[in-house]
Amino acid sequence: MLTKSLYLSSIRFLTKNIWQFASLITGIVLSVAIITATDLAIESAKKSFELSTEIINGKATHHIINNGGKIDEELVVNLENKYKLTVTPLIEGFVTKNNRLLKVIGIDPFSDIAFRSIFKEFNSRKQYNPSAFINKLEGFFTTKHTAEKFRILPGDPLLIDQNDETYRLKLYGLIDSDNAPASASLDNLLFMDISTAQELLKLQNYISRIDLILKPEEENELKNILFAIDPSLVLIKSSERNQAQESMTKSFNANLSALSLLAMLVGIFLIYNTMTFAVLQRRKIFGFLRTIGVSQKEIFSLIIFESLLFAIIGSLIGIGLGYLLANVLLSFIVRTINDLYFVLQVSQIHISNITFLKAGLIGVFAALLSALIPAYEASNSPVTKVIKNIDIEEKVKKYLPKLNIAGLVLISLSLLLFLIFEKNISACFFGLFIMVIGFSCFIPFLTYHSDYILEPLYRNTFGLASLISLRSLKKNLSRNAIAIAALTVAISLYLSLDIAINSFRNTVEDWLSASLFADIYISTPKQVSHRNHLTLNNKVIEFTKTFQTEDIIGISEYHLRDVIGEYGSTRVASINSLPIVKNSFTFKESTKDIWSKFDKGEGLIASAPYAYKHKIKCNDKVKLQTDKGLQTFTILGIFSDYSSDQGLLMMHQDLYRSLWEDPNLSSLGIFLKESTETELEKPKKNKIHLLTNQKSSPKLDKIKTYIEAYKTEAAKESLSPTFFDIRSNKELLKESLEIFDRTFRVTSALKIIAVIVAAFGIFSALLSLIIEREKEFALLKALGMSKQDIQRSISLQAFTMGLLSSIFAIPLGIASAWVMIFVINHRSFGWDINFSLDFKSILFATLISVTAALIAAIFPSQTQSKVSPRELEKDEAF
Amino acid sequence: MKKKNSKLPIILISSLVLILVFLSSKFFSNTPFNEKHFKLQKPSELLKHEEIDTKFAKALDPYDFSFPQDHGSHEEFKTEWWYYTGNLEDANGHEFGYQLTIFRNGLEPIFDAEDKKNVLNNWQTKEIYMAHFAITDIHNKKFYSFEKLGRESLGQAGARINPYKVWVKNWSIQSSPKANAENIFPIILRAQDKDLSMKLNLKPVKPVTLQGLDGLSQKSNGAGNASYYYSISKLASKGKIQIGDQIFKVKGFSWLDREFSTSSLGGTLAGWDWFALQLENNVEIMYYRLRDQENNTDMAHSGGVIIDAAGEKHPFTAQDIVLNSTEKFKSKYSGAEYPISWTMEIPKLDLKVKIKPLLKEQEHQNNYPYYEGAIEVNGEFSKNKITGKGYMELVGY
């Protein structure tokens, strides 16, 4: 019966100390939630991409795409009738409705049947009569979920505003699947007949791609046929296309997973922290239990039983919370992928039991492992010492030098990892992880000796009584150090992310300011973003060139498109090199007379990420598939560029146009006269910086006037504003930075979660420590301390813990940021980021740390200050 | 006592294990994604019924046929087909049946060139073409059937008269180089799928036979419930059939049925049985039987024709014929039960024959299942033994 009462005693203890119980569970909940959320969000984005490509590619073995983006529709018929191939045309495009980006997929149900099964039933014509779908230019199918979002039922219209016209589509039916993730991956897709899609997207006579089912022997023959028809047509294997898209986000995902690992580290610390408390706090009780005959084994299994209970409850709640959090994270991730890489439609979290299992197991095992040492310690130490509770602290003190050595070893190991694994990002993150653990090994030692500096400081500032807080910190080092370490890790994570992102942002902002050389930009409408490489309407180009005002001193022309090169799809930019444009480039490496060679078309320049990714140096050669066949180009220089992590190659417009039959442009830049200087040649770096700080200047007014006049005149020429976007460099800079900020919203979210987790850590630590000191407070009250004195003492202890954490976190945070910038980021993307330390971040981190600790102290100080001196007697009675 | 009480942690650990097992079993039971799971659900009314555009022309009066123009399409009518069937044989006696049919389905009537141009893009078609291609390999007891659809736009499918060509993608019926503007024949039939192809050269042996009343074939009561219908009952055919690696040089005889109409069948009609017999004595018999839901013959509108050796036609009515089914075949694919063997008697001609399929399984197992198969004919005609071959179509079972 004794064991039963043992468990009951443990349960009573917890129900009586419900706050502690709650904070203990919260620690586990939060940690498991972070792991679950990040994992689910990343996996959902990935899974959704895989499923939708799987469904949309269907049985296609190959695709024909055009470098220029569009394919003549006649080619489909030609391949089918003349070459007797199994082909189907496809149109892909985007429309917006209620600020939601919808992907339009135009298919030909007749030939589609050989590729995809979605329209199989439709083709059977038992229930459906396809003629309306094909003939009326209105019908579309979408998922039930998407239809519900727009509150439409089959038969209802859906109005789409596109190209200045309103299209009236009609929902002809719903696509559904008994496989929920598969169904969800088709959300926000509108399937319609190719005729309807052509009309909606204004793709008269063109299609986006051709899908084929080829026999292996047909591949080479077809390549030759295509080359003869139009050299810009490219035949690619279906599998290769997906891989290319997937690998684009690889670095991005790796970084995210690693961040979640770091967050997990904070979580494990927290679990360890709370579990250790739960045991250490009752060390005395366990001691008494042993004096009345409870065996060591029983004490041990009691503690393990408790931890398991917490672990299971905490993990289950954590998984639930993580699932909810994942939705938020997912929307950030999807937005970023859409901003930077490709359009991805994800509306739902893909439930992954592996993730749940992983997070659950980490929660349970972290809790069990954390409980093992204190459980062993409490059940095996001599009873007399356990009761006195001194022994444990003595032990900790003895361990301090050993811990320091361990810390040194771990930090050296991390440095070694950075040196050995140059290209392996996961290894680098693991190195960072070890470095952080290594650093936290010093925390008990540093905390213990912090009184050398703090004692005189406190004595002078807060008076003698303040030393109680300081001594108590030292006395209960085992628990305090863990709490401080948890907070340190969290704050340093926060700080390092903040420094890394800010450095990156500053670098990008500087670069943008320098490279947004023109005053005004005219580009394709932004509702369909840059990824699609849309080209400017010819009328807009013509109009811009004829729309002359006396202020214009030059127009730069820019064109960006994807071509197939030896490293797969490659971004190629072409410019008409105005002298002023050249000044905006910063070369990391360059050859002699680079610009004169560039102008003569003797080679091209590569962006730093491109050069890094493909290990390219000056004078190296790259091959690109041009309309005149495969051509080799010399690299003249490598320039700094942050516009794409895939990298890009840049060439002179004349060279480009001599090799590709593509007179299109992506954007135009307009240069206006300065009020004081009119010369084109002068370098104008950081010009925007100056302008952004100004509310008005003659130049700003000129820009404004030009834009207004342009819009008015364009309207007169009946050029719809949906054909183009006209923005000042200032606006463009702002938008670019907005995209940048969106990209790092996930990181910011993680950053905040880390701090919340840490605040809970401090809260539970303080709570337990203070409850434990009940007797001490009663004694202090008996000695004449007031309620306020005790509150102050408790707050001071919390403040000290927060202060120490932030002091420790600053060097750790800076070091981690350094690793993130110079090791991880450079190795994943090839970007050079200027390390910029913002003292505001450090100040803010300190503030967070101290505030978190003080907030955590409010509740315990309220309860404990009310403690009556009579508690002393009660305790004696025990 | 100690043993008993230490059960609690065991219970807890085992419950944890159970939870883990539950989670993992959920994981492993996750059915792998299969594209076939997709269904189109809840089609709107817009897609369910086809309302026939009242602007389409109707078959009201006998038609003044003029060839070769009328071998081409009649786009003012909703439905039209070019129906080639035939029995072929190679030098080794390896027998084949074949079918190549092209259907035209008008979405909007086209009366002139302006109507045709009235589209917003090349994919917005006014007509859909569908083709069925089947080969019956009698020796190997194999039936192959394929379907192909295309739009009458971008040259995907269509019908034109000069030079004559009716096609859906790479399946086609077209004049051979020997033909001229006055005579579309000989024609070449081409169709293939992955491992199967056919190329035949066809030359009429018999003239055009206008069915019904000068080509107006009434299918049910009511003006316009009729089609314009003509046949060429015998075309000498030769060419090759390739199945896998095997190429067969074949020759034999084909039958052409041509019909165009707008709404020809009455509402109570369930389907029809159609027979085209080519007898060895150079006589052909065509008979179609329209059935209602209770399998009763529509005596008023069913009927047939006999084409004698000289190519003269001799129509007969449903009253003149006794047709009894003797064997049924149940399709596993569609569940339909087809009467595949028959006895046919036309007492006034002193004809009594047995009709049997050359292969039982000749059902088109694609989106719209029906039976179209090669048959053999054995019996007596004017007291003489007679044999023959032909094709049989069973629709609506």
Query: Hey, what domains does chain B have and what are their CATH numbers?
Result: 49-55+63-267 (2.40.370.10), 268-397 (2.40.370.10)
Distance CA B42, CA A340 (A): 37
Q: Which residues contact A119 (CB under 8 A, 6 or more apart)?
A: A107, A109, A112, A113, A191, B40
Distance of CA A688 to the CA centre of its chain: 28
The answer, yes or no, to whether ipTM is higher than 0.95 is: no
Instruction: Considering only the beta carbons, identify the residue of B24, B43, B149 that sits closest to A353.
Output: B24
Assign residue A858 a region: left if phi > 0, alpha if psi is -120 to 50, beta otherwise? alpha
Interface test with B, best of A148, A179, A317 (most B CBs within 10 A): A179
Binary contact (A171, B154; C-beta < 8 A): no
Binary contact (A7, B8; C-beta < 8 A): yes
Q: Does B44 touch chain A (CB under 8 A)?
A: yes
Binary contact (B154, A73; C-beta < 8 A): yes
Report chain B residues whose CB lies below 8 A from the CB of A293: none
> Which of the residue ranges A167-181, A819-833, B99-113 has the most confident prediction, judged by mean pLDDT?
B99-113
Q: Does B32 touch chain A (CB under 8 A)?
A: no
Binary contact (B23, A135; C-beta < 8 A): no
Instruction: Considering only the beta carbons, identify the residue of B12, B42, B44 that sits closest to A309.
Output: B12
Q: Which residues contact A647 (CB under 8 A, 6 or more apart)?
A: A571, A606, A607, A608, A609, A610, A611, A612, A613, A614, A641, A830
Q: With 90 as the cut, is the pLDDT of residue B386 above it?
A: yes
Q: What share of chain B is helix, strand, coil (3-state, %, to 5)?
A: 10, 50, 35
Lowest-confidence range among A1-15, A420-434, B35-49, B188-202?
Answer: B35-49
Report chain A residues whose CB lies below 8 A from the CB of B171: none
| pLDDT at residue number A550 | 74
Half-sphere exposure of A104 (CA within 13 A, CB side): 28
Delimit the domains of chain A by residue range.
8-59+246-379, 69-231, 443-515+732-878, 525-723
List B residues 48-107 in contact with A (Cβ-Cβ < 8 A): 48-50, 105, 107
Binary contact (A133, B47; C-beta < 8 A): yes
Torsion of CA A179, A182, A188, A194, to 10 degrees: -110
Binary contact (A154, B19; C-beta < 8 A): no
Q: B23 near A355, Cβ under 8 Å?
A: no
**What does pLDDT average to over chain B?**
86
Q: Which residues contact B377 (CB under 8 A, 6 or more apart)?
A: B277, B279, B353, B354, B355, B386, B387, B388, B389, B390
Kindly give the pairing relationship between strand A604-607 and strand A629-639: parallel
Q: What share of chain A is helix, strand, coil (3-state, %, to 5)?
A: 60, 15, 25
Reduced 3-state DSSP string for B113-163: HHHHHCCCCCCCCCEEEEEEEEEEECCCCEEEEEEEEEECCCCCEEEEECC
Binary contact (A357, B48; C-beta < 8 A): no
The one-letter amino acid at A281 = Q
Binary contact (B155, A81; C-beta < 8 A): yes
pLDDT tens, position by position, B48-88:
555 666 788 888 888 889 988 899 999 999 899 999 999 99
Q: With 50 as the cut, is the pLDDT of residue A683 above it?
A: no
Q: With 70 as the cut, is the pLDDT of residue B283 above it?
A: yes
Other CB atoms within 10 A of residue A249 CB: 22
The one-letter amino acid at A28 = I
Q: With 90 as the cut, is the pLDDT of residue B340 above it?
A: yes
Residue of B235 and A630 predicted with greater confidence: B235
Distance CA A613, CA A828 (A): 9
Report chain B residues whose CB lies below 8 A from the CB of A308: 9, 12-13, 16
Q: Does B12 touch chain A (CB under 8 A)?
A: yes
Number of A:B CB contacts under 8 A?
197
Q: With 90 as the cut, is the pLDDT of residue B196 above it?
A: yes
Structural element, H or E, at residue A501: helix A477-515
DSSP letter, residue A143 = E
* Token pair in block for residue A281: 């706090």
Binary contact (A129, B155; C-beta < 8 A): no
List B residues 356-395 in contact with A (Cβ-Cβ < 8 A): 367-368
The one-letter amino acid at A248 = M
Instruction: Considering only the beta carbons, identify the residue of A129, A144, A357 that sits closest to B23.
Output: A357
**pLDDT (mean) for A391-401:** 76
Lowest-confidence range among A164-168, A523-527, A556-560, B1-5?
Answer: B1-5
Backbone angles phi, psi at A590, to 5 degrees: -155, 160
Binary contact (B128, A80; C-beta < 8 A): no
Of residues A264, A312, A311, the one with CA closest to residue A754:
A264
Tokens 């014929």 sit at which residue? B321
List B residues 197-236 in contact with A (Cβ-Cβ < 8 A): none
CA distance A563 to chain B (A): 29
Other CB atoms within 10 A of residue A529 CB: 15
Give the whole-number percent of chain A exceeding pLDDT 90. 6
pLDDT tens, position by position, A635-647:
999 988 887 777 8
DSSP letter, residue A151 = T
**What does pLDDT average to over chain A?**
78
pTM of the model: 0.65
pLDDT tens, position by position, A571-595:
888 888 777 777 778 888 888 888 8
Q: With 70 as the cut, is the pLDDT of residue B37 above it?
A: no
Confidence of residue A738 (pLDDT cuts 50, 70, 90): confident
Binary contact (A119, B40; C-beta < 8 A): yes
| pLDDT at residue number A510 | 82
| pLDDT at residue number A586 | 82
Beta-bridge mates of residue B254: B86, B235
Binary contact (A139, B120; C-beta < 8 A): no
| pLDDT at residue number A689 | 43
